[in-house]
Amino acid sequence: MRASFIFSEVLNGLRRNITMTMAMIITTAITLGMFGAGLLVVQMADKTQEIFLDRVEMQIFLSDQVTDADPNCQSAPCLTLREQIEAADGVDSVQYIDRAEAFRDATTKTFANNPDIAALVREDTLPASFKVRMADPDKFGAVLDEFRGADGVDSVLDQRELVSRIFSVLDGARNAAFTIALVQAIAAILLIANTVQVAAYTRRTEVGIMRLVGATRWYTQLPFLLEAVIATLVGSLLAIGGLFAAKSLFFDRALQDLYGVNILAKIGISDVVFVAPWLIIIGVVMSSLTAYATLRFYVRE
């Protein structure tokens, strides 16, 4: 009997304050949607970092004197330099690129779309080099700086600037999503509190009668709390549906070219599924705490 009474009170409350309930649902959906988008960007950044850990490398070019004296890097100082790089902290692998391979890469890869430039490239003008892949990206700069001025080194190619630009864009998108979500969360909390106060005020007479006949404070205020939770739960489900739609309509289409060349990691359905429960939990907790605090401190039936 008590459960059915509370259930009927919740339905009546949602129906009586339909406009405020709809506003609470929409605001909550936007808030959780933006927060979920931020979480998806974080997942994309983490996966993209894994891609670049496998691909991003530094290239250490050897001087002409070292290359001419030891074209196959089988003795000092070339071999010694290679061993020192391999022993450096954070280095995963070191590949020696001789002039012949550098020439093939230049003509078939680097300048493949510029045949006029490729025709000007000569094998004896290209330096040999070491391609160094890092196991720990945090050590990238230290290793590069350590061997930048080493004996036998002519120059180095630093890809940190490219990587930092890519991740700065991802960080900016994440921070923007979280900032909007924070502003919307404040609006949602204020709206939930206002809705609970209005609902309690419109039913103050019947609540007062229930208190007079022995109903506990918790029993009379539970319907108001459940109204907020149900509205937020609906909003969280809308937010999850919005993320699935955004994945198909925005991420998959707008970022298709970047996905194709493996610059950005693709957001999959599993990523949205992973984020979904957190949106529900955060929404329910936020509405529960807000409604409880409102009833505790502002409503005195």
Give residue 1's pLDDT: 43
Residues of the chain where predicted confidence (pLDDT) is lower than 50: 1, 301
pTM: 0.60
Give residue 300's pLDDT: 54
Give residue 147's pLDDT: 86
Q: What letters, b where the CB count within 10 A reaches 16 and e where it falls short, cover 81-118?
A: bbeebeebeebeebebbbbeebbeebbeeebeeeeeeb
Q: DSSP string spanning 50-100?
A: HHHHHH-EEEEEEPHHHHHH-TT--STTHHHHHHHHHHSTTEEEEEEE-HH
- The domain 57-158 is classified under which CATH number: 3.20.20.70, 1.10.3720.10, 3.40.50.2000, 3.30.70.3040? 3.30.70.3040
Structure tokens at 280: 């529900």
Give residue 240's pLDDT: 92
> Where are the chain's structural domains?
2-52+164-297, 57-158
Give residue 217's pLDDT: 58
